[in-house]
């Protein structure tokens, strides 16, 4: 372990803090993480994969407690799913939950392209699906790359059709065109936000023209031909699309980056890196913690935490109330308020890692660096901390004391220079309900791009940090 001058704030290096055994553990952990990224590219898939991880570890659906009026006891392991898109998992602690809990909260949605409700069109020999982008993307990054289609459609017959095309070997992939440089003179003169417009993000689905039908001799249009294929292969009609949620995501597989395999490259690491590390931390807790440990995984963060699966919804409060009630049937609303105001919450979201190709937007003394451990942000926001939850000095001190006690390398950072931009997390919605909240997660390079990069050292130390925090 590297020696440190106790009188200065010096960054530790996450790799140098590892013994050979820990490094081996970290590499294996990141192998599991990469498999998770490939299995769970959407919020629904994340819930499915994580519920199976939880069930394998003996966690039980909290609805069975609620339906059976069953009380919770220290050591009970429970999970609760919200509309297939958000998830809470908890290990019940020895203490009364009104004395507070230790929560780690991340989000499992990621920037993507959603099919429009009536998506199909044909033009110039192609059948395409129109999309509406979800979250903050650079639209030009989504053209001329292989794409996959994930989602669900509720068929008229009541069955739910799960779609996942473009992920398995032999699957076709999908594609949005970009203009050839030879004809892109005008396009290249636009500002980057207008190089590709939202309406141009049309996904090519097919191009074989219709044949003349024997009955009426009429030519089927391209679109009709594709609809016939959709009907024959999947039993779908055009009107079924409005009964679905179809997400277009990059078809690349996540994997190791660099000759030394020190980095993870993949789609949707904001914020599935904190979601995965948070859940694994809960699964790997030793014994029964004194405070109830909770991993909360929300949806819709990328569009403002809206909706009944987002972090602004009172679903997490409902969980805490149900848990208090299951602990002691006489507990009512006052128990909820006491529990929330005594709860400590790590807002587990990514921050920007210093990017040596774009140093001008970072202030080096207050930046997170890939490889230097879990990154804490005292505050986020933009234009003078607007939209931030500014954690108290007391909270920063107590959380960093936990990390120091476990020899976990950590760093503290702002997201870019003052007035260079900014961003928010779910932290502010948790402070609204009275919790003590600190932003804490993995630094990411190329955040919100189709292929984001993280350091394996940071992924591992973040997992260890969340585990130490929840262990109490
Ligand atoms: Mn995020
Ligand atoms: Mn984000």
> What's the confidence (pLDDT) of residue 423?
85
DSSP codes joined into one string, 156-225: TTSPEEEEEESSSTT---BB-----GGG-HHHHTS-HHHHS-GGG-EEEEE-PPP-B-TTT-PBPPHHHH
- How close is the Cα of 31 to the center of ligand 1, in Å? 22
Residues 97, 216, single domain; the answer is no
* Burial of 401: CB neighbours in 10 Å, binned 0-12, 13-18, 19+: exposed
Beta bridge partner(s), residue 61: 79
Q: 96 and 147, same structural domain? A: no
**Phi, psi values for residue 380, rounded to 5°:** -120, -140
Would 354 be classed as within a structural domain?
Answer: yes
Q: Of the residues 215, 250, 285, which one is the last residue of a structural domain?
A: 250
Q: Which domain holds residue 158?
A: 112-250
Q: Let me know whether 144 and 238 are in one domain.
A: yes
Whether residue 6 lies inside any domain: the answer is no
Beta-bridge partners for 150: 164, 247
Per-residue pLDDT of the chain (472 residues; tens, 9 = 90+): 556 677 888 899 999 999 999 999 999 999 999 999 999 999 999 999 999 999 999 999 999 999 999 999 999 999 999 999 999 999 999 999 999 999 999 999 999 999 999 999 999 999 999 999 999 999 999 999 999 999 999 998 889 999 999 999 999 999 999 999 999 999 999 999 999 999 999 999 999 987 655 565 566 788 888 898 889 988 889 999 999 999 999 999 999 999 999 999 999 999 999 999 999 999 999 999 999 999 999 999 999 999 999 999 999 999 999 999 999 999 999 999 999 999 999 999 999 999 999 999 999 999 999 999 999 999 988 888 888 889 999 999 999 999 999 999 999 999 999 988 888 899 999 999 999 999 999 999 999 999 999 999 999 999 999 999 999 9
Q: How high is the pLDDT of residue 127?
A: 95
Considering the domain architecture, whether residues 121 and 92 belong to the same structural domain is answered as no
Tokens of 320: 């805490």
Task: Provide the pLDDT for residue 106.
Answer: 98
Query: Which ligand is closest to the CA of 425, given by its number?
Result: 1
Question: Do residues 452 and 399 both lie within one domain?
Answer: yes
Q: Which of 216, 250, 284 is the last residue of a domain?
A: 250
- In this prediction, residue 386 carries a pLDDT of 87
Ligand 1 centre from 447 Cα, in Å? 9
Q: How far does the centroid of ligand 1 lie from the alpha carbon of residue 270, in Å?
A: 5
Q: Which ligand is nearest to the CA of 273?
A: 1
What pLDDT shows up at residue 389? 86
**Residues with Cβ–ion distance below 5 A, ligand 1:** 270-271, 349
Q: Ligand 2 centre from 448 Cα, in Å?
A: 6
Tell whether 8 is covered by a domain.
no
Question: What's the confidence (pLDDT) of residue 382?
Answer: 87
Judge contact between 78 and 90, C-beta under 8 A: yes
């Amino acid at each position: 372990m590297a020696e440190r001058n106790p009188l200065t704030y010096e960054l530790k290096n996450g790799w140098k803090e590892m013994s050979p055994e820990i490094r081996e553990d970290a590499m294996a952990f990141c192998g599991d993480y990469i498999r998770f990224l490939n299995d769970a590219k959407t919020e629904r898939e994340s819930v499915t994969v994580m519920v199976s991880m939880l069930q394998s570890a003996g966690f039980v659906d909290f609805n069975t407690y609620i339906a059976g009026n069953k009380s919770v006891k220290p050591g009970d392991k429970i999970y609760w799913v919200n509309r297939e898109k958000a998830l809470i998992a908890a290990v019940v602690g020895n203490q009364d939950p009104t004395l507070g809990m230790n929560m780690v909260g991340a989000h499992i949605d990621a920037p993507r392209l959603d099919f429009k409700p009536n998506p199909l069109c044909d033009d110039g020999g192609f059948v395409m699906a129109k999309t509406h982008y979800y979250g903050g993307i650079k639209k030009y990054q989504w053209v001329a790359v292989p794409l996959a289609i994930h989602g669900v459609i509720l068929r008229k017959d009541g069955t739910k059709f799960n779609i996942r095309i473009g992920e398995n070997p032999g699957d076709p992939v999908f594609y949005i065109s970009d203009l050839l440089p030879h004809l892109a003179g005008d396009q290249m003169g636009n500002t980057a936000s207008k190089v590709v417009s939202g309406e141009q993000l049309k996904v090519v689905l097919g191009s074989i023209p219709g044949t003349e039908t024997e009955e009426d001799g009429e030519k089927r249009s391209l679109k009709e031909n594709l609809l016939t294929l959709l009907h024959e292969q999947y039993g779908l009609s055009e009107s079924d699309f409005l009964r679905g949620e179809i997400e277009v995501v990059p078809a690349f597989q996540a994997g190791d980056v660099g000759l030394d395999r020190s980095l993870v490259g993949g789609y949707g690491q904001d914020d599935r890196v904190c979601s995965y590390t948070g859940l694994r931390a809960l699964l790997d807790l030793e014994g029964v913690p004194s405070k109830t440990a909770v991993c909360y995984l929300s949806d819709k963060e990328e569009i403002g935490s809206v909706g009944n699966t987002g972090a602004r919804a009172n679903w997490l409060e409902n969980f805490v109330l149900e848990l208090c009630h299951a602990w002691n049937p006489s507990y009512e609303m006052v128990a909820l308020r006491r529990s929330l105001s005594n709860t400590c919450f790590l807002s587990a979201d990514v921050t920007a890692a210093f990017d040596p190709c774009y140093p001008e937007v970072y202030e080096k003394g207050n930046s997170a660096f890939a490889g230097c451990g879990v990154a804490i942000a005292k505050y986020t926001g933009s234009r003078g901390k607007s939209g931030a939850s500014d954690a108290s000095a007391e909270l920063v001190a107590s959380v960093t004391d936990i990390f120091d006690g476990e020899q976990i390398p950590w760093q503290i950072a702002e997201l870019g220079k003052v007035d260079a931009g900014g961003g928010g997390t779910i932290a502010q919605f948790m402070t609204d309900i009275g919790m003590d909240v600190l932003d804490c997660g993995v630094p990411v390079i190329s955040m919100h791009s189709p292929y984001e990069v993280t350091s394996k050292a940071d992924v591992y130390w973040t997992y260890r940090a969340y585990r130490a925090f929840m262990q109490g």
